[in-house]
Structures are given as structure tokens and as C-alpha cells.
A and B are shown apart, each in its own frame.
Chain A
């Protein structure tokens, strides 16, 4: 894989290559903005909203997609072309709900709507680093649903180290939770209604005050801690309502009708009985990170429910989210594959991690698709996203590379033995400089997997054919001349260091 990759790509990382194309040296990377004009020639291009192109060419100009087509597409002369015939190009994955980048404790007071995710965002959080590695180019991060009104979420690009360069939209949603943490459900909902009614009363009073002053002067400002709820009730902020049971879904829509605000339900799989109710309300939903549940019915049968499949069959557009702490469910393509396993068609599953979350976040036209005019938020995968083998090779946000697997030390360490190099380099066995150069070249071309294997074989050699170790007892210490090397190694390894 690595050799093929090397043969097809220029021998430098993409960032450096783009900089070279822009006439700048890689050393100046931190000072100059890299060029956002390039083209990608990929083995497969999944456009999501259009047909899959095999192979396909995408032209990016100034961070936007300028052209999409087959291999005969006209690419402007002089443009750098990223040639990736074995890879799959997709729109960058989008996560419509989650708490990536927010580490630490969270507010649990019933009305914590005034807190902002952007204030708690940790740009160097592991979850954001993993987001880049897993191809998520846009995500909404909000305080987890610990309170009735948990706070405001922000839409971010997982790039850079300054919060300002990450934030796309500061206040993108208000997180609400109908799942009860303590006390009864009745008490919880009474609290929610009290808070909403209180805010509605404040807004009505303010309107009356404005009418009384007859537009001559503005009425006094709302207290700042009520601003988020005011935005909600006046339609400037949607609510992401976390529902744990089917009853919560009904309550969610009832509250939205009562108080006239826009809701996006965030569903746990136990809400499957409310699918028809969702359908009649014509709303997009968010599902995850758990997608399936098993329930034992009163008559003794067990139902195995896959919520994405139910939603798809009912014609409800759904977005899938990930679990940053789970080795498999942290990948958006894995969640899509689980949906496909249950019978959701490939297209709908891929839309659930690109186009539908983009629409939920308000970027239906500019993100989540590869089409002329859309942002160049792209992800280049090593294999088909639903194959289970895909690694993200490159990720771009508006044409700027934010992740390059070749320079990902953490992933390299996870996939290899990755021991720290010794402090004192061992004496070379080959004093001849020509041979050393040859050795070094061979090691450069060697993949990490081959290097591991070569190291292992050197330390634990297989016996030569003529000295077969004794079949009966290979570890018999009495046979001093038979496999002495092996035996001696074993004794020292087992008895000494430990």
C-alpha cells in the first residue's frame, strides 16, 4: 500500500507540495497562507448529491469546488493535481451533535442555557485531534445533555490552535434534555415549562414596554442569562432536544408547538416507537451514538431494533453521530456501515454523515456535498468508506489541508510497535558508506510493517532447515547443541528480566 502510494503521489507531503506549487518553501508554512487552488484526481469520487464518479476529477479554486467531472474534465493549466487513483474522495464528514473538545465538568443547574461551548472549547483536545484523523471536517459541539437546558453549542472546524480560527458559528443550538437525571419526569417537565413560560413572560413584558414607549427609545435589555432562551423563543436558535424514550419525543414536539420554537430531536435507539410521530412532524433527526437496542416484549419475544433502518423506511432524514471514546463508533463510516448492515441503502447511509447533518446545521448548500459552489471540505480515504478498511489519508477544510496521514505520528505509533529510539545509537554493522547508504534507502522505502517483521526475525530467528529442533521437546534444556541459540534466549528472557 505504501509503495503504491509513493509511486502515485509526489514524494512529499501534500502540504509541502501545495506550498511548492504556490512558489513558497515548506519552511515558510507557518507564515504564509497555503494555496487553495488545486485539483484532485481520485479513483472514486462520491459526490453524495450526484452520481459516484469512477474515476473522478474535482477542481478547487479559492477554497471552493469549481468543477466536478470524469477523467476528461478540463483542468486549468498550471494547477497542482493531487493524483490518487486508488483512493476515494468524499465530502468531509459532518457531525451534527456531540461534545468533542469540551473536557471537564458541566453545568447541571436546570437553566444553564447561558453557557457557551465556545467558552469551554479545548483546541488541543484528543477528541478534536481524533476528529481530524477520522475525517470529520465540521462538527457541532455542545455541552452534554446533563441539565434541562444545558447550554449553547458551537459549530467548529477541527483545525488550528486558536479558538477563533476554529469557530464557524458561535451559537448554533441550545441543548435541551428531557431525560430525567434525578427526581421524577413530572417534576423535570414542570421545571422545563416553568423556565420557558418565565422567558415568554419576560419577552411579552418587553414587547409591552416597547409599545408603551412607542418606538422612541429601546426598552431595557434582557438580563444576559436569559439571552439564549430569548433567542430560542424568537426563532433565532434551534433546540437540540435529547430524547431517551418514545414519550420524550412526544413531549419534545408538544413543547415546540406550545412555545413556538424549532426543534431537532437527538434520539436514543429506545425512541423507536415514536418513529411515526416523527414522520408526521416532518423534521430531520439526529441519531446516536448508539444506533441499536434489544427489547424483550411482554409476550417473551425479543425485538432487535436498528433505529436508522426504521427512520429510513419511514422516509425521515437522519444524521448519525459518533462516540469519540469508542474504538469503532468514533468513525462516521462505521456508524454508516452499521446502518447499511441493517438494510439502509448505501446512499442514505452516506448522506447521513454528510448531507443531512450539513442541512441540520444550516449548511445544506455549501457543505456535505461535492458540487460546484460548495466549500472544498473534502476527505480522501484509502478505501471505500463502507469497506471497514478505510483510513483517512488527507482532509481539507475550504481547500486547506488539516490532516495528512503521512505525518500523523499518533496513528503511526498505534499501527506499529513504535518504541522510542535508544538514546545511544548502536554501532553500525556496515562501516562501508556505500552499503550504509543502500541500507538507509532500503529502510526508507520499507513500510513500517516490513520494518517490524525484519526486526522480529532478527531477534527471534527461525531455525535453519538442517538443525530442526527436537519435535518432542523444543525447550529441553539438556540438548545443549540442539537449537542452543533458541534455548539460551529463552532462559535469559524468562528467568532474567521480568
Chain B
């Protein structure tokens, strides 16, 4: 109660305010070689290496394998006692999204690029990084039937242009109720405004989509929109279709089949009702956000039958299942979905794959991102427990070989002989507010 005892307790208490150390600013990848040691490395495809050594050179993993105990040359990041995972990949994230992600000027906007509105300094990106997410997908909103293309970016603090993984990673299509919002004039009122003639229900929406894609096939169409749509129909470039109700998922797959798209069904709450169809069509599924109670408000009726078992059932049928936090939830929820997916029957290894290797595969960046193997980007997350353990905390994150986040008690880089560290972490701030009398 005395003055004397207040100050130390304040400092004590505020040591716990994890004044998140700022992510390293700019700078090229460190020269030379960095060796990361860890108790376990989860490679992302279900395999584990115990104990693990990762050798990073020039921002990429040069070698991943069992640590034989030989002294490493060059800089060393001693993560012994921790587990290494590939940087998590969140294909549908709210991090980087601006407050108004919907362009409602027209219903079909294929040439809009999400990269044009990504807010690279969004604190949500830094928050996602601190929770282990190194790659996020930022997509246009769902008010338009074809919203545009989605972008994949890394979550560290470099200038945005240098951390774009793919500017146009795939097409974004939305099914269900959302594109029809705002398209109907009030009941009994005469038609008003330019919105009247746009689709007001699912029939109109599907027809609008068919019309847009099929007209893009005409040789006379030489505009950017048609080029994007032809690319989506040509294969090798995924189309994300957001569909929640079973009927919408079936429509999505039917359209993909008719138009030759490579479907990735997003959110897919009722996917457990059409597992065989998804398996037969070869579609991928991005699940999330996960919820248990039927939705209310504007989203009422969009996926009234959620099940915990969806991820497990899809995986058992051979459908690639990824988890994503969703455009309305905090980026950190991806960790929650991993915990829940493991709890509800998806094996621990498969739950890890669902946030690393599989989303990378669905976005066609699996050559570079999503697993700890030679040649991949050196995006490594060091945790003090299993990824499916809710009490495990991220201790360090490397993005393309640079240590961009470290907790106060996390591992440090010990520079090797002859190696000059070119990127330095600024010291962690500790916040001391004014004392209240």
C-alpha cells in the first residue's frame, strides 16, 4: 500500500504486458548461413524429425534433417526445448483487410486485385505473425458475385511490395445470400436505381456467373475481365467459391464442372452433407470460421447445420481440408481452429497439415511455402509445445530466414565466427505508464 511497494509491483506486473517487440525493419536476408536447432521439427506433411536441425541460406531452407550433434558453422538459433513448425498459412484472413472490403459497383469484377487495397501496416498482420501465421490470403468481400482476385502476402514488416507471394493467386466467387444483399427494391415499391436489375436470389446469381464466364470465352472479348475469367477456366489457377449451405456447395461444384474451374470451396459449413460429391470433384475445402450455434442476423440461414466432425469426415474421404480464420474473425483464431480440429477427431499431424502444407497446396504455392523442406522459404515458427496444445506459445518466428519476432524468453541468434549480422532486432520496449495516485 505504501509508495515503495507500488512501484516494484507495477514493474513486476508490467513485465507481463508483453510489449510485443517490434518486428525487424527492412533489410536484406542475413548473409551466410543460419542453423536452427530444435527438439522436433514438424515438416508439415505429417512427418516429424527428432531432434532437428534446419540450415537456412539466402532466405531458403538449404537442409532439414536430424541433428547429428556436430557443431554447426555460422550463426545458430538455439531452439532446443522448442518445436519447429512451418509458418502457418491462413488463406482467408481479416489481417490486411481494409474496413470496407466490398466493391459493389458491379456484380462481376474479375480484374479487381485485392493487393490494391491491402493495408500492409495493419496491426492485425503483426498480431498474426506473433501467433505464428507467416502467409495470409487477403480476398475481396463477398457482396459481389465475382469479387476479384485474392493476394498472398507474408506478414512481416518489410515494405509490402517485397513480401507479396502472389499478386493474383486465384479468383474469388461468392455464392449464397450475400451477393443479393441490397439488390432488391423494397416490397411493393417500384424498381429503383441501378441495383434493381442485379441478382436478387440464388437462381439469378448462378445465371449471372454463367453468363459472365461463358461470355468471356467469346474471341471478341479482349478486356482484362475476360482474360482473368479465361485464366480461371483454363486450369492451373484456383477459384475460391464461398458456399455454406449444402445447396450452395452443390451449385459451386456444378458450376466448376460446367465451366472447367479448379474449385476450392471456402467456409463450407455443411460440407459434411456432400462429402462424396466433394471427394469425386477433386475440390479442396477451406474450413473456417468454425462455429457451433446457428448464425443470426444477416447471416441467418447460411449454414444452419454446423458439425464438429466436418474436418474429420472430409479428410477421411480424401478431400484436402485447410483451416482459415475467416474475414470477420481475429487472425489469431487460426490457432483455436487447430486445437478444435484435433479435439474433434482430425489427427494431430493432419491438423498441422491443415494450416501449413494443405493451404499452400490449395493456393498452388506448395513448391515454396508450407513445409520444412529443402528449397522452401525459410518460414519457421518455434513453439514451446505442440501446435494443437492450447497452452503452447510462439517463442520465435522466422520469415524468409530473418528472425522477425522473438519473445523476451525466446531463443536468440548467436552469431558465428566471421558472420556479420545485417539485421538487428530492436530491444523490447517495456511500458511504464504514469502511476495513478
- Could you tell me which A residues sit within 8 Å of B by CB distance? 126, 250, 272-277, 279-280, 294, 296-297, 299-306, 309-310, 312-314, 325-328, 330, 334, 337-338, 340-343, 386-389, 391, 413-418, 449, 452-453, 456, 459-460, 475, 486, 489-490, 493-494, 497-498
Contacts and interface: CB of A to CB of B under 8 A. Distances in A.
Interface in B300-322: 306-309, 312-313, 316-317
A466 B54 CA distance: 41
28 contacts: A275-B13, A276-B9, A279-B9, A301-B431, A302-B20, A303-B20, A304-B130, A306-B16, A309-B16, A310-B14, A310-B17, A313-B13, A325-B293, A328-B333, A388-B343, A388-B389, A389-B342, A389-B343, A391-B343, A415-B308, A417-B272, A452-B316, A456-B317, A486-B280, A494-B253, A494-B280, A497-B250, A498-B250
B257 A456 contact: no
Contacts, number: 153
**Most A C-beta atoms less than 10 A away, residue of B12, B13, B126:** B13
Interface stretch (B41-49, B166-174, B219-227, B390-398): B390-398
Contacts of B6: 276, 280
A386 B293 contact: no
Interface string B261-296: 000000000001001110111100000001111000
Interface in B1-43: 1, 6, 9-10, 12-20, 22
B340 interface: yes
A386 B272 contact: no
Contacts of B316: 452-453, 456
Which 7 residue pairs spanning A and B have beta carbons closest together? A337-B390, A340-B391, A388-B390, A388-B339, A328-B336, A327-B292, A414-B308
A305 B430 CA distance: 12
B251 interface: yes
Contacts of B275: 417, 456
B312 A449 contact: yes
Contact of B391 (A126, A297, A341): A341
Contacts of B251: 498
B390 A313 contact: no
Contacts of B130: 304
B9 A388 contact: no
Interface in B378-437: 388-393, 429, 431, 433, 435-436
**Most B C-beta atoms less than 10 A away, residue of A274, A338, A452, A459:** A452
For chain B, give the interface size range. Answer: 35 or more
A135 to B, nearest CB: 14
Given A340-B391, A460-B317, A498-B251, 7 more contacts: A279-B9, A299-B429, A304-B20, A414-B308, A415-B308, A489-B280, A498-B250
Nearest to A418: B307
A314 B19 CA distance: 17
Contacts of B184: none
A415 B390 contact: no
B344 interface: yes
Contact of B389 (A387, A391, A460): A387
A328 B277 contact: no
Contacts of B279: 460
Given A279-B9, A303-B17, A415-B309, A494 B293 contact: no
Contact of A386 (B282, B336, B391): B391
Nearest to A246: B436
Contacts of B276: 456, 459-460, 493
B390 A341 contact: yes
Contacts of A305: 17-18
Interface of B: 1, 6, 9-10, 12-20, 22, 123, 126-127, 130, 250-251, 253-254, 257, 272, 275-277, 279-282, 290-293, 306-309, 312-313, 316-317, 333, 336, 339-340, 342-345, 388-393, 429, 431, 433, 435-436
A276 B393 contact: no
Nearest to B337: A328
B280 A460 contact: yes
Contacts of B292: 327, 330, 414
B19 A303 contact: yes
Contacts of A276: 6, 9-10, 13, 435-436
Contacts of B307: 413-418
A301 B293 contact: no
B342 A388 contact: yes
Given A276-B13, A301-B429, A306-B18, A415 B344 contact: yes
B207 to A, nearest CB: 15
Contacts of A325: 293
A199 to B, nearest CB: 29
Contacts of B123: 294, 296, 302
Contacts of A294: 123, 127
B2 to A, nearest CB: 10
A280 B1 contact: yes
Contacts of B10: 276
A312 B16 CA distance: 10
Contacts of A342: 16, 18, 393
A459 B281 CA distance: 15
A276 B11 CA distance: 10
B16 A337 contact: no
B383 to A, nearest CB: 10
Nearest to B296: A325
A413 B419 CA distance: 59
A301 B290 CA distance: 31
A309 B16 CA distance: 7
Nearest to B247: A498
A304 to B, nearest CB: 5
Contacts of A328: 333, 336, 339-340
**Most A C-beta atoms less than 10 A away, residue of B17, B290, B345, B433:** B17
A334 B253 contact: no
Contacts of B431: 297, 301, 303
A435 B387 CA distance: 45
